[in-house]
Structure 1
Amino acid sequence: MTLTTQFLAMAAMILGGIYLGAAMDTLKRFKHLYRKRTLMNYTIVISFWLLQAFILFFLLYQVNYGELRFYIFLSVFCGYAAYRALFQGIYTRMLERLIRIIKALVRFFLRCFNLFIVKPIKWLWKVATAIIIWVSTLLLAGSIFVLRVLWWPLRLVARLLWKMFPENMKKYLHTLAGFYVTIKNRILKLLNLWKR
């Protein structure tokens, strides 16, 4: 391995150490979201470290085809130490500002969604319900009015027809009506007994 390759590997690993420090602070910032759930906590932490190892090894592979030497680990440690000493305060402030911006954007889009989609749908639903109730009330009132108007002529026609029926037919219909009234009374008595 040439000196240039070694220098590039060291520089890449120092940058990798700085990145690792930033990634650890990012993970720590969101720890409150999953800390109380033990299984989720272990899953996220293990996945995080596997991903960081993969990223650092991929970076090393791009520079020197993945050859591991002692100075590689030392470079990562130096990069991490440099991050803690020089960049941690700046990065955490930037991260907090970015989180505040994202929260504000999410709140803005949720308000827009509520204002332009949810509220118009609710308003349309109320209007449609009111129209349906109004139309059904109007139809019911119209039907009752038509029935009241037609009731008198129908009653008159029924009386005329009743007078035209022969006496035998009238007696039969009276008997039939009495039979139905008796059945109805018995059913009502049974229902009252069952309710008691």
Structure 2
Amino acid sequence: MTLTVQFQTILSMVAMGIWIGMAMDTYGRFLHEKKKWNWFHFINDFLFWVLQALLVFYVLLQVNHAEVRFYIFLALLCGFSAYKALLEKTYKRILERTIQIVAAVLRFIKRLLEVLVVNPIKWIFTLLLAIIMWALNMVWRIAFSLLKIIFLPFKWTGLLIWSFIPKQTWYTFKDKVSKKAGFLRSAWNKAVTWFKK
């Protein structure tokens, strides 16, 4: 391994150490909730560190064909320490600001979609529903009017027949119905009283 390759390897591992620090802060900001331990957190942490290891190995493979030396780990540690000492606060401020900007843009897009898409759809749906209800009401009125016209001859016939029925016969029929209704009402009251007892 030439000195140039070694120098490139050291710089690359320092950069990867800085990257790991940034990735840890980003991961902690979004995914790592401060609650008691559970399997979901364990799996997330495991996948996170596997991904970081694969990235370091890929960079090392591109720089020096994945030749592992002791100074590689020292360069990673130096890069991580440099991030913690010099860049962490600045990166966290930038990260928070970026999150705020993205959240504001997403809220604007959501509001824009509501104004341009959701609200017109609701208005169109309400209009269609009102038109359908108006049409059903008109159909019902027309149908009711037609039924009245259809049954009008039967009404006239009934009134004509009623005019020929003697009033005495009607009063006799009404008295019989009233007597039977009174008997049924009395029987029902007795049955209810017996059931309560």
Match of residue 101 from structure 2? 101
> CA 1:130 to 1:111, structure 2 compared with 1: closer, same or farther past 3 Å?
same
The one-letter code of the counterpart of 1:128 is L
Extract unaligned runs of 5+ from structure 1: 161-195
Residue type of the partner of 1:67?
E
What is the distance in 2 between the residues matched to 1:146 and 1:37? Answer: 75
Distance in 2 separating the partners of 1:38 and 1:109:
35
1:134 corresponds to 2:134:
yes
Mapped to 2, the partners of 1:32 and 1:130 lie a distance apart of 50
The amino acid across from 1:140 in the alignment is: W
1:12 aligns with 2:12: yes
Contact 1:14 1:77 in 2 (8 A): yes
Aligned residues: 163
Name the CA distance, whole Å, in 2 between partners of 1:82 and 1:158.
105
Aligned equivalent of 1:190: none
Farther off after superposition, 33-42 or 9-18: 33-42
* Alignment of 1:115 onto 2:130: no
Cα distance in 1 for partners of 2:120, 2:38 equals: 43
| Aligned: 1:41 with 2:41 | yes
Aligned residue number for residue 189 of structure 1: none
With the length of structure 2 as denominator, give the TM-score of the two structures.
Answer: 0.75
CA RMSD between the two structures: 2.4
Distance 1:30 1:107, change over 3 A: same
Alignment partner, residue 187 of structure 2: none
Per-residue deviation at 1:150?
Answer: 3.0
1:57 is aligned to 57
Conserved 8 A contact 1:14-1:78: yes
CA contact (8 A) 2:32 2:41 kept: no
Q: How far did 1:151 drift?
A: 2.3
Task: Give the SS at the match of 1:131.
Answer: helix
The within-5 A match list for 1:176-195 is: none
Kindly state the Cα deviation for residue 33 of structure 1 after the two structures are TM-superposed: 5.0
Q: Which moved more, 1:147-156 or 1:31-40?
A: 31-40
Moved segments of 4+, more than 4 Å: 32-37, 154-160
Indicate the percent of aligned positions where both proteins have the same amino acid: 40
Checking the alignment, whether the CA contact within 8 Å between 1:17 and 1:76 is kept in structure 2 is: yes
Partner SS state of residue 84, structure 2: helix
TM-score by length of 1: 0.75
Whether the 8 Å contact between 1:18 and 1:80 is mirrored in structure 2 is: yes
User: In the aligned structure 2, how far is the partner of 1:107 from the partner of 1:4?
Assistant: 50
1:134: Cα distance to partner?
0.9
